[in-house]
């Protein structure tokens, strides 16, 4: 984090003769406060006043602690693309080895910042790229609403280094141009197929209804894998089928480097009730059901990030109507989340809860902040 603090050297759009607080001080204060469980601008100001002595060791504050109004104005003025660059640089400290054998999964999905909505404007909809293996958000773009994700995905892909990684997208992102874009980035894809591609969906579902084909995949070495687990008081069984026998697939020519199709059958048993769900996919991966399963299950890991933003950081609960300020706070929360996930407090009791880590920092910032800064 020390590196991150040192790199907050951005062009200041404010009139310099009126500036009392540097951008580095304000952004640094917001990030540290966010780490310590402080989620509103008013509370960030109060946090700064309470911990002024500790913060002064790392930030300057020549004119005292900035007010919440000043913090808000700064967040409105900073170009989010600059924080994106800082986030990318910061991520390099957290990203695990790029060993091609890791098959790193990059999940792309959108989430709406409900706290940014009002009767006069739609909320920011943030399209993010998440890596569970690294515990970081690789990047994000803002769109007006979920319906614009299709046009935003290529813009997000252009900002990412994806070589030898596997990109997963839900059905809205399953577009031929997007598949081609992923291949051009020297990555692979696993894309969900629903009825928005009616003929392709029909062909794939018809194929997986044919029992002999399923039996053949089960008997093969790589085309089938199953899992069983207990979740929410019910038994969940998942059966993963994948095949590269797709010479018959009429739409094959439209999808760049498509090599396989797959199905996931999820059987949920609770009491005497059984519920079955089936999902279908196309992929540029060769048949490897274990890797296919990792990619499919991995896609939902991005929902964990959304949960942290919504529940831990209370992003939906706090009203920040200015769109640029809301976007900048979103980026800083993602950076804070990455830091908290990597930080191990040096205390007797092992602490893994993100909430408890924030509590520790809020109670004893002077004790624990140095260990974060020196990670």
With a cut of 70, say whether residue 15 has pLDDT above it: no
Strand 273-283, strand 188-193: pairing: antiparallel
- Residue 267: predicted pLDDT: 96
With a cut of 80, say whether residue 337 has pLDDT above it: yes
The Cβ of residue 375 has, within 10 Å, a number of other Cβ atoms equal to 13
Averaged pLDDT for residues 111-118: 90
Domain ranges of the chain: 2-78+343-373, 91-306
Helix/strand/coil percent split, the chain, to 5: 45, 20, 35
With a cut of 70, say whether residue 5 has pLDDT above it: no
Please name the residue ranges forming H helices in 185-322: 198-208, 211-219, 289-299, 302-307
Check if the beta carbon of residue 375 is closer than 8 Å to that of residue 1. Answer: yes
242 HSE (CA, 13 A, CB side)? 27
Q: How far apart are CA 241 and CA 266, in angstroms?
A: 11
Which residues does 171 contact at the CB level (< 8 Å), separation at least 6? 191, 192, 193, 194, 196
Tokens of 331: 């980026």
The Cβ of residue 139 has, within 10 Å, a number of other Cβ atoms equal to 24
Percent of the chain with pLDDT over 70: 93
With a cut of 60, say whether residue 21 has pLDDT above it: yes
C-alpha angle 188/193/198, rounded to 5°?
135
Averaged pLDDT for residues 172-190: 97
Tokens of 135: 């515990």
SS3 331: helix
Residue 369 zone, left/alpha/beta (φ > 0; ψ -120 to 50; rest):
alpha
**Nearest Cα to Cα of residue 45 among 70, 23, 74, 8:** 70
- Residue 272: predicted pLDDT: 86
- Residue 101: predicted pLDDT: 59
Check if the beta carbon of residue 266 is closer than 8 Å to that of residue 236. Answer: yes
- Residue 14: predicted pLDDT: 66
Q: What is the mean pLDDT of the chain?
A: 91
- Residue 207: predicted pLDDT: 96
Q: Would you place residue 22 in the very low, low, confident or very high pLDDT band (cuts 50, 70, 90)?
A: confident
- Residue 99: predicted pLDDT: 59
Q: Would you place residue 1 in the very low, low, confident or very high pLDDT band (cuts 50, 70, 90)?
A: low
Averaged pLDDT for residues 289-302: 93
Please name the residue ranges forming H helices in the chain: 2-7, 23-35, 41-50, 52-55, 68-77, 80-91, 149-158, 176-184, 198-208, 211-219, 289-299, 302-307, 323-342, 354-363, 365-373
- Residue 97: predicted pLDDT: 57
Higher-pLDDT residue of 374, 156: 156
With a cut of 60, say whether residue 161 has pLDDT above it: yes
Averaged pLDDT for residues 271-281: 94
Averaged pLDDT for residues 257-267: 98
Name which of 65-74, 100-109, 178-187, 264-273 the model is least confident about: 100-109
Q: For 202-224, what is each residue's pLDDT tens digit?
A: 999 999 999 999 999 998 879 99
Residue 123 DSSP one-character state: P
- Residue 102: predicted pLDDT: 66
With a cut of 60, say whether residue 3 has pLDDT above it: no
Name which of 75-84, 89-98, 179-188 the model is least confident about: 89-98
Number of helical H runs and strand E runs in the chain:
15, 9
b/e per residue 206-232 (b: at least 16 CB within 10 A)? ebbeeeeebeebeeeebbbbeeeeeee
Which residues does 342 contact at the CB level (< 8 Å), separation at least 6? 94, 135, 375
With a cut of 70, say whether residue 42 has pLDDT above it: yes
Q: Would you place residue 188 in the very low, low, confident or very high pLDDT band (cuts 50, 70, 90)?
A: very high
């Amino acid at each position: 984090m020390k590196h991150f603090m040192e790199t907050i050297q951005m062009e200041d759009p404010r009139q310099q003769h009126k500036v009392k607080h540097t951008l580095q001080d304000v952004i640094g204060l917001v990030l540290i406060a966010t780490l310590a469980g402080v989620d509103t601008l008013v509370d960030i100001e109060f946090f700064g006043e309470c911990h002024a002595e500790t913060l002064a060791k790392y930030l300057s504050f020549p004119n005292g602690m900035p007010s919440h109004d000043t913090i808000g104005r700064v967040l409105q003025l900073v170009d989010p693309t600059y924080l994106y660059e800082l986030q990318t640089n910061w991520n390099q400290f957290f990203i695990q080895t790029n060993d091609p054998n890791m098959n790193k999964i990059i999940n792309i999905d959108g989430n709406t910042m409900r706290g940014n909505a009002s009767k006069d404007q739609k909320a920011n909809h943030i399209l993010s790229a998440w890596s569970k293996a690294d515990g970081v958000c690789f990047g994000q773009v803002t769109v007006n609403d979920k319906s614009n994700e299709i046009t935003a995905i290529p813009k997000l892909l252009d900002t990412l280094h994806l070589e030898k990684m596997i990109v997963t997208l839900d059905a809205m992102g399953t577009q031929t141009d997007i598949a081609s874009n992923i291949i051009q980035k020297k990555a692979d894809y696993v894309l969900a197929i629903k009825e928005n591609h009616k003929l392709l969906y029909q062909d794939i579902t018809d194929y997986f209804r044919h029992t002999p084909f399923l039996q053949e995949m089960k008997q093969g070495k790589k085309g089938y894998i199953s899992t069983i687990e207990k979740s929410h008081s019910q038994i969940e069984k998942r059966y993963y089928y994948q095949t590269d026998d797709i010479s018959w697939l009429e739409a094959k020519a439209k999808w760049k480097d498509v090599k396989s199709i797959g199905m996931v059958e999820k059987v949920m048993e609770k009491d005497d009730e059984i519920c079955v769900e089936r999902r279908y996919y196309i992929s540029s991966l060769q048949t490897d059901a274990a890797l296919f399963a990792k990619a499919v299950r991995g896609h939902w890991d991005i929902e964990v990030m959304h949960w942290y933003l919504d529940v831990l950081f209370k992003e939906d609960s706090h009203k920040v109507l200015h769109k640029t300020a809301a976007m900048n706070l979103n980026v800083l929360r993602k950076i804070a989340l990455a830091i908290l996930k990597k930080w191990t407090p040096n205390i007797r009791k092992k602490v893994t809860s993100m909430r408890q880590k924030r509590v520790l920092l809020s109670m004893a910032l002077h004790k624990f902040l140095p260990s974060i800064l020196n990670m």
